Amino acid sequence: MIFLDNAGTTKMFEQCLEVHKEFSCEDFFNPSAVSIKSMNVFKQISETEKLFLKKLGASEGNVLFTSCATESNNLAIKGSLRAGNLEYVFSCGEHPSVYNVAKQMELEGKIVHFVPLAKDGTVDLQKLESVLNERTRLISIMHVSNETGAINDLKKISTLKNKLCPKAIFHVDGVQAFMKIPFSLRGLAVDLYSFSAHKIHGPKGVAGLYVKNKNSLKELFQGGGQQYGLRSGTENVSGIMQFRKAVELIDVSANLEKVKNLKAIFNSGLAVPGIEVLDFGGSPYIECIKFAGVKGETMLHALEENGVVVGLGSACSSKKAGNRILENIGFSKEDIISTVRVSFNAYQSNEEMSLAAKIICETYKNIKERVTK
């Protein structure tokens, strides 16, 4: 099987299994207890937090460990809500774990602005500027689009925030950026940043939320007061330490160059009329492919039978009709239903990319021939 849906999830590093065994069967102690062994586990978590702050390029703040990026995003948004005549700003390109929270806020009577996307898939900065004001409480805009790979300019958004609403909270869903593209939060006006383990070859069931200022956030549920009183509950020690192992094993710059090469090899093999690569010039890890005259879902199932796995966009919304992000960019419904998402990882081979492209071309030609008969 050649797996080309790495934006949905990634194969876990085998080294994480040993870490899981260590912190589940040996150093299994509760980090909130007061025994020496428990305090040593707590120390390990604290050291992991410092490592993640370094990887984020954050000069201040803390990292909360959550169960998934959906929880991180919900904690960031709902924990930032305040009473009063305040406004909340989101892009139309957000992941469902952000977008659906915003739609619920709108239903509850809060003032919510949805900023459209430009043709390249990034947030329309002019439209964003037009809705920001002194009443803006929260801005939530993702770093890298999980649908197109488009990269939003956090520096320009930070400049707008500092100019028009300096007291606002700026949240970034960084799931498709963390440990994939080089960046640093230092000097940016980012207050909250979400990221996830299973998108970077770590385990499912653990994620992170960077918090610049703990006072800007309120907890969503009450408990024992773990993690600075913002995320109560016994920490998933094994998951956190496996997450750390995945981060330690990744060389961001080297992987980026590897993926660029893999993508180039893959795309060069798609030389068949009717197959169009939709490259938005963002992260090389993600791209879309349009198959003229053939539904994307048809291609997805046929390719899986032939040993290639692709996606139909966000795994959290892939069973729903249409594609909100591509529609907002300006794609027709016909184009959208003919599109699949392809996403790479740095540990795949050149041979796999060549073979995947060949299988895709042959599968498309076979389907097209049957359709046109």
Question: Comparing C-alpha atoms, which of 199, 146, 237 is closest to residue 10?
Answer: 199
Phi first, then psi: what are they for 229, rounded to 5°? Answer: 75, 10
Entry field: residues in the chain: 373
223 φ/ψ angles, rounded to the nearest 5 degrees: -175, -135
Residue-by-residue DSSP string for 342-366: EE--TTS-HHHHHHHHHHHHHHHHH
Q: Is 316 a catalytic residue?
A: yes
Task: State residue 80 phi and psi, 5-degree precision.
Answer: -100, -5
**Token digits for 245?**
């192992």
Cα 282 from Cα 274, distance rounded (Å) = 23
- Can you list the positions of beta strands (E) in 192-305? 192-196, 207-211, 275-278, 286-291
369, HSE (Cβ side, Cα atoms, 13 Å): 6
For tokens 């498709």, what's the residue? 176
Element (H, E) at 171: strand 169-173
DSSP state of 232: -
Q: How far is CA 321 from CA 111, 178, 313, 318, in A?
A: 28, 29, 11, 8
Q: Is 340 left (phi over 0), alpha (psi -120 to 50) or beta?
A: beta
Q: What distance in Å separates the CA atoms of residue 325 and residue 332, rounded to the nearest whole number? A: 12
User: Which residue is associated with the tokens 């020690």?
Assistant: 237
Give the C-alpha distances (Å, rounded to integers) separating 279 from 234, 288, 353: 43, 7, 17
Residue 114: count other Cβ atoms within 10 Å of its Cβ: 18
- Annotated catalytic residue: which of 92, 165, 288, 316? 316
The DSSP string of 190-202 is: --EEEEESTTTTS
Asked if 211 contacts 62 with a C-beta cutoff of 8 angstroms, the reply is yes
User: Which residues are identified as catalytic?
Assistant: 316
